[in-house]
Structure 1
Amino acid sequence: MSVRPTDASPRGSAPAPRPAQASALGAPQPQPPRPQTSAADSEPRPLHASALDAAARHPERVAAISVDGRSGEVRGRITYRELAEASARVAGGLRELGVGRGDVVSAIVPNRLEFSVLVLAISRLGAVFSGLPTAIGRARGEATVTRSGARVLVAAPGEPLALALALRDVCPRLEHVVALDGADAQGALPYELLAAAAPLTGEEPVDAHALAHIGFTSGTTGEPKGVMNTHATLGAVCRAWVEHVGGDETFGDPAVNLVASPVGHHTGFLWGALLSARLAATAVYLDRWIPAVAAETIARLGVTTMHGAPTFLQDLVRVERFDAARARSLRIVTLAGAPIPRELVPAAAARLDAAIVPAWGMTEYGIAISASPAMRKARLEAGDGVPVGAAQARVTRDGAPVATGEVGALEIRGPGLFTGYHEREDATREAFDADGWFATGDLASIADDGVVALQGRTKDIIVRGGENVPVAEVESTLFRHPDVVEAAVVAVPDERLGERALAVVAVVPGRRPPSLAELVDFCLAQGLSKHYLPEYVAHVEALPKTGSGKVLKTELRDRYQGVPDGR
Structure 2
Amino acid sequence: MLEGCTPWPEDVARAYREQGIWRGETLGTVLREAALAHGDRTALVHGDRRVGYAELDRWADRLAAGFAAHGLRAGDRIVVQLPNVPEFVAIAFALMRLGVKLVFSLPAHRATELGHLVELSGAVALLVPETHRGDDHRELAREVRARTGTLRSLFVLGAKTEGFVSVAELESAVPDPRPLPEPDPSDVAFFLLSGGTTALPKLIPRTHDDYVYMSDRAARVCELTADDVYLAVLPIEFNFAFGCPGVIGTLLTGGTVVLADTPNPMDCFPLVERYRATVTAMVPSIMTLWLEAAEWTEEDLSSLRLVQVGGARMPREFTARIEPTLGARLQQVFGMAEGLLTFSRPDDPLESVLTTQGRPVSDADELLIVDEEGRPLEAGRVGELITRGPYTLRGYYNAPEHNRRAFTADGFYRTGDLARLTEDGDLVIEGRIKEMIIRGGDKIAAGEVEDLLLAHPGISAAAVVGVPDTFLGERICAFLVAEGPEIPLADLKRSVHARGVADYKLPDVVRYVPELPLTPLGKVDKKALAAHAASEQEG
Q: Tell me the TM-score normalised to structure 2 length.
A: 0.92
- Equivalent position to 1:546, from 501, 519, 524: 519
Matched position secondary structure for 2:450: helix
Gaps of 5+ in 1: 1-20, 67-73
One of 338, 354, 362 as aligned partner of 1:364: 338
Amino acid at match of 1:351: T
Q: Secondary structure at the match of 1:468?
A: strand
Alignment of 1:391-470 (within 5 A): 391-397=365-371, 398-470=373-445
Deviations 1:153-175 (A, max 9, x none): 11012333321122122322211
Write out aligned runs for 1:348-359 (5 A): 348-359=322-333
> Quick one: distance in 2 between partners of 1:43 and 1:320?
42
1:54 corresponds to: 34
Q: For each residue in 1:361-404, what CA deviation from the matched residue of structure 2 results, as whole angstroms up to 9, or x when unmatched?
A: 11101x42221111112323342111221212111112111232
1:122 to 76, 86, 95: 95
Alignment of 1:240-279 (within 5 A): 240-245=217-222, 247-249=223-225, 253-271=226-244, 272-279=246-253
Shift of the 521–156 alpha-carbon distance from structure 1 to 2, 3 Å rule, reads farther
**1:190 pairs with 2:158:** no
Per-residue deviation at 1:118? 0.8
**Aligned equivalent of 2:86, options 93, 99, 113:** 113
Q: Structure 1's 265 and 162: CA in aligned 2 closer, same or farther, altered over 3 A?
A: farther
CA distance in 1, matches of 2:514, 2:253: 39
Shift of 1:440: 0.5
1:322 Cα deviation after fit: 6.1
Distance 2:532 2:416 in 1: 23
After superposing the two structures, state which structure 1 stretch, 338-347 or 231-240, moved more.
338-347
CA separation of 1:182 and 1:325: change in aligned 2, threshold 3 A: closer
Q: Which amino acid is 1:189 matched to?
A: V
What secondary structure does 2:243 align onto? helix
Partner of 2:277: 303
The residue number in structure 2 matching 1:9 is none
CA distance, structure 2, for counterparts of residue 83 and residue 481 of structure 1: 51
Structure 1 pair 542–157 and aligned structure 2 pair: CA distance change class (3 A):
farther
Report matched runs for 1:25-424 at 5 Å: 27-31=3-7, 33=9, 34=12, 36-37=15-16, 39=19, 41=21, 43-66=23-46, 74-158=47-131, 159=135, 160-182=137-159, 185=161, 187-198=163-174, 199-245=176-222, 247-249=223-225, 253-271=226-244, 272-321=246-295, 326-365=300-339, 367-389=340-362, 390-397=364-371, 398-424=373-399
AA at the equivalent of 2:37? R
Write the distance in 2 (CA, Å) between the matches of 1:323 and 1:242. 30
Name the amino acid aligned to 1:63. Answer: A
**TM-score (structure 1 length as normaliser):** 0.87
Letter in 1 for 2:180: E
Shift of 1:222: 4.4
Q: 1:320 to 1:329 in 2, by over 3 A?
A: closer
How many residues were matched structurally? 526
Shift of 1:186: 5.2
Residues 303-337 of structure 1, C-alpha deviation per residue, up to 9 Å, x if partnerless?
11111211222111100446898211101111122
CA distance, structure 2, for counterparts of residue 354 and residue 481 of structure 1? 27
Query: What is the CA-CA distance between 1:354 and the residue it aligns to?
Result: 1.3
CA deviation after TM superposition for structure 1 residue 56, in Å: 1.3
1:13 corresponding residue in structure 2: none
Separation in 1 of the partners of 2:324 and 2:500? 24
- Distance in 2 (CA, whole Å) between partners of 1:496 and 1:441 is 27
Cα shift readout 1:8-51 (whole Å, capped 9, x = no counterpart):
xxxxxxxxxxxxx34xxxx4534454565383636141112232
Deviation at 1:76, TM superposition (A): 2.3
Work out which structure has the larger RCO, using CA pairs closer than 8 Å and 6 or more positions apart in sequence.
1
CA distance in 2, matches of 1:120, 1:95: 14
Q: Equivalents in 1 of 2:487, 2:436: separation in Å?
A: 24
| Residues 461/186 of structure 1: CA separation in 2 closer, same or farther (3 Å cut) | farther
Q: Does the CA-based 8 Å contact 1:44-1:236 persist in structure 2?
A: no
Inter-CA distance 283–492: structure 2 relative to 1 (3 Å threshold): same
Higher deviation after alignment, 47-56 or 261-270? 261-270
**Aligned position for 1:490:** 465
Structure 1's 292 and 526: CA in aligned 2 closer, same or farther, altered over 3 A? Answer: farther
Secondary structure, counterpart of 1:349 in structure 2: helix
C-alpha distance in 2, partners of 1:324/1:458?
Answer: 43
Q: CA deviation at 1:64?
A: 1.2
Change (3 A) 1:322 1:497: same
* Cα shift at 1:358: 0.7
Q: Which amino acid aligns with 1:347?
A: R
SS at match of 2:293: coil
Take 2:498 and 2:301, find their aligned partners in 1: how far apart are those partners? 35
Q: Is the 8 A contact 2:103 2:117 kept in 1?
A: no
The secondary structure found in structure 2 opposite 1:504 is strand
Instruction: Give the letter aligned to residue 438 of structure 2.
Output: V
Change (3 A) 1:325 1:269: closer
Aligned mates of 2:292, 2:357 — CA distance in 1 = 23
Instruction: Provide closer, same or farther for how the CA distance between residues 157 and 525 of structure 1 changes in structure 2, counting only shifts above 3 A.
Output: farther
1:125-166 CA distance string (max 9 Å, x none): 122111111111222211111111222211012333321122
Of the structure 1 ranges 151-160 and 408-417, higher mean CA displacement relative to structure 2 is found in 151-160
Task: Give, in whole Å, the separation in 1 of the partners of 2:233 and 2:489.
Answer: 35
Residue type of the partner of 1:505? L
For the aligned residue pairs, the C-alpha RMSD in angstroms reads: 2.3
Q: 1:348 to 1:487 in 2, by over 3 A?
A: same
Q: Which whole-Å CA distance do the structure 1 matches of 2:487 and 2:407 have between them?
A: 44
How far apart are the structure 1 equivalents of 2:54 and 2:501? 56
Deviation string, structure 1 residues 35-75 (Cα, Å, up to 9, x no partner):
65383636141112232222112222221122xxxxxxx25
Distance across 1 between alignment mates of 2:75 and 2:164: 23
Q: In structure 1, the residue corresponding to 2:115 is in which secondary structure?
A: helix
1:355 deviates by 1.3
What displacement does 1:527 show?
Answer: 4.8
Alignment partner of 2:392: what SS?
A: coil
Q: Distance in 1 between matches of 2:386 and 2:100?
A: 30
Contact preservation (8 Å) 1:308, 1:548: no
**Alpha-carbon distance in 1 for matches of 2:477, 2:230:** 38
Kept in 2: contact 1:168–1:176 (CA 8 A): no
